[in-house]
Chains A and B, each alone.
Chain A
């Protein structure tokens, strides 16, 4: 409709503050260029106000106090070469990284027979290599399941031996990083499906299944992992018939799995609750069965939502494996401790624990960063 010309002029004069939107009058403009250079940035963010200035100065002072001595201790005055033995470390004022040159194999592989260390080393390298491969999205596929199956078999052969001319090594002698990685990875891999079943069970319409799931989750969450491991390794064998014994490592693995599953189940339940009711109704209306509905509609959405708490639990599980030391297994931390039992090197325990902490940290940091990437990757395109 075309308003009459006088109508137009009257409108323009009467309500001059109401402008007609016109693309010709307002050309697109670039956003204002940032004026902040380094100095400007510092003035705005570091010295913007009095409290800010005080905090900034305090932080600078702390860094000045801490950093130079740390660098001096860790790098400048440190002993790196194990050639001089513990004696050269005692003379130096810095850190004794020579400890790692001397004791790395004991720390990494525990009490595994010394001349056979290449076996756990190769097994660990295989697992880490396949982990890295599985992390790449373009390589995802059914073949990975087979690769993991083969990898597990090879790792088993390498660790146990007893075939192909490899000497048999019982699980009691396993230790160090391979043990930590094995417990953590198998614990997580086995706990995850169990936790999904528990979470679904907790939301089930069937009272018996719901009660069982709730009971299990609340019971396990109510006790510390240490006591679960203790039950598994000390109490559990008492209930077995005489002559039957279950491997200690396996019992610890089962303990970790059951414990992790209970916590994971609650994270998964959080995701399930966030999925709108309509999603299930639509799946029902299409005639999908319960398991089809869960597998293809509900869980893919629910799990994507709870990647952060799930990875949180994975990280926690990874670090909790260090508790198996109380049932006499030599994981990475216990092996480090054992390596430090040597009276010559005992004074340098700080360096030993820093090294062990770095190993834990690098795996956990990888998991954390990977989960952030995974979240972004899976959110592509499907944002609501």
Chain B
């Protein structure tokens, strides 16, 4: 792990109307680090992760990704988005395109990769998420787990250096959670920088270098998984753990 952070949030503020969703949020992620963000719903964790690739605009503080500060410069934002892959809770595959077309769209148009090459890259990633045989189907013909794996492959096709996961398994049927987590664990093993909003504590234990606990728009606790699960510092964290582990 190198020293300079690849993603850095410094005192980030955001409001939805009058509602203060992010309060002094600071976070620093080093290259290759796996950060798992958890917290009760409405705690601002999704908003925080969506600020990193500017799907949401922050209104105060600074966000620096790969040394580039996120501001109103559209070109800079497009460059950052190429280098930051994102996986959504609801997959958000393009239903009018086949799986292969979903995967090659951005390489073809954003990176101007030749078609043949883009398809080769796409097939390579489909094999990594273990569904190369679905390449010519439409997303609507796949199961939820398969769709989410396609979505991961789609993000990887731009060869990003950072991957954001926004509750990637929350919309899945229980029996499909594992196939998606397996792909994510494999990706973590390859040294990808990952920021995951998730409630999958088993996954967190397995891959996280750093746990971030958020509540009411604030970062309440940042700890190693060992500390986080055995000896959390804050009362709020303990309460949350009681709720999600107890069930």
Contact = CB atoms under 8 A, between A and B. Distances in A.
A292 interface: yes
B203 interface: no
Given A289-B78, A292-B109, A383-B140, A281 B94 contact: no
B26 interface: no
A286 B81 contact: yes
A304 interface: yes
B36 interface: no
Size category of the binding interface on chain B? 20 to 34
B162 to A, nearest CB: 12
A295 to B, nearest CB: 9
B96 A288 contact: no
A301 B92 contact: no
Interface string A268-298: 0000000010110111111111001000110
B55 A281 contact: yes
A279 B81 contact: no
Interface stretch (B82-90, B176-184, B207-215, B222-230): B82-90
A300 interface: yes
Given A285-B53, A285-B81, A288-B110, A279 B90 contact: no
Interface string B63-97: 00000000000000011011011101010111111
B158 to A, nearest CB: 7
A267 B217 CA distance: 40
A384 interface: yes
B83 to A, nearest CB: 9
A358 B207 CA distance: 72
A382 B106 CA distance: 20
Given A278-B90, A281-B92, 9 more contacts: A279-B94, A286-B154, A287-B78, A287-B82, A288-B109, A296-B109, A297-B105, A300-B96, A301-B94
Interface of B: 53-55, 78-79, 81-82, 84-86, 88, 90, 92-97, 105-106, 109-110, 137-138, 140-141, 154-155, 158
A-B residue pairs, 3 tightest by C-beta:
A282-B92, A287-B81, A286-B106
